[in-house]
Amino acid sequence: MVWELIAQHLRPLPPISLPYTVRVDQEFHEMPEPTIYDVQVTVENPLRTMMVSFLSDPGYVAMLREVSVLDDQLAKLIQAISMSKAKHSFFESLGQDPVHFFNHWLSSQQRDLEVINGEAPRGGGERADSGEWRKSASDGVWSTLNARQSVNLLLSRPKPAPVPARHG
């Protein structure tokens, strides 16, 4: 019965016929009014056949795999360059002024340890009433890319579902 149900949808559509009348009277041809018909014709999308042949091509799948491998290699190269740059900056700073570098580095490590242990008053010892936190102009802390990204991250987090109260 399935064939009987779908067979009617598999046959081609009937041809389009436009009934019309040819007017031969003189007064119509002196002031002719054009007649415009909007005819909707269903046509298969020509890009569909091209896309099907393109997507079913085994070379396309191989090319996608190759692009994926190249993308992974590129990400590893960028990461290696970033690490190399960080090492270079580290050693360059250490070489220029070792005493100041170690003092700054130890201070940074101390702040990180305070943050990890939960002992830092504001995530690193900075004061909330200092001048830089009060600036709202384009040179203030709040207009930096880090601040915008942090605010976007906080706003995009899903809100936790309320915990139902237990009656006991």
Average pLDDT, the chain: 79
pLDDT at 73: 96
Q: What confidence category does residue 123 fall into, taking pLDDT thresholds of 50, 70 and 90?
A: very low
Query: How many angstroms separate the CA atoms of 141 and 130, rounded?
Result: 11
pLDDT at 59: 85
pLDDT tens, position by position, 2-53: 777 777 777 777 777 777 777 788 887 788 777 777 778 788 877 888 888 8
pLDDT tens, position by position, 131-150: 665 666 666 777 777 777 77
Contact status, residue 124 vs residue 115, Cβ threshold 8 Å:
yes
The answer on pLDDT for 88 being more than 90 is yes
pLDDT at 105: 85
Which residue, among 20, 21, 24, has the nearest Cα to 39 in the 3D structure?
20
Q: What confidence category does residue 76 fall into, taking pLDDT thresholds of 50, 70 and 90?
A: very high
Q: Pick the residue with more confidence: 109 or 146?
A: 109
Q: How many Cβ atoms from other residues are within 10 Å of residue 127's Cβ?
A: 10
Q: Which range has the worst mean pLDDT, 83-87, 112-116, 129-133, 136-140?
A: 129-133
Q: Pick the residue with more confidence: 129 or 61?
A: 61
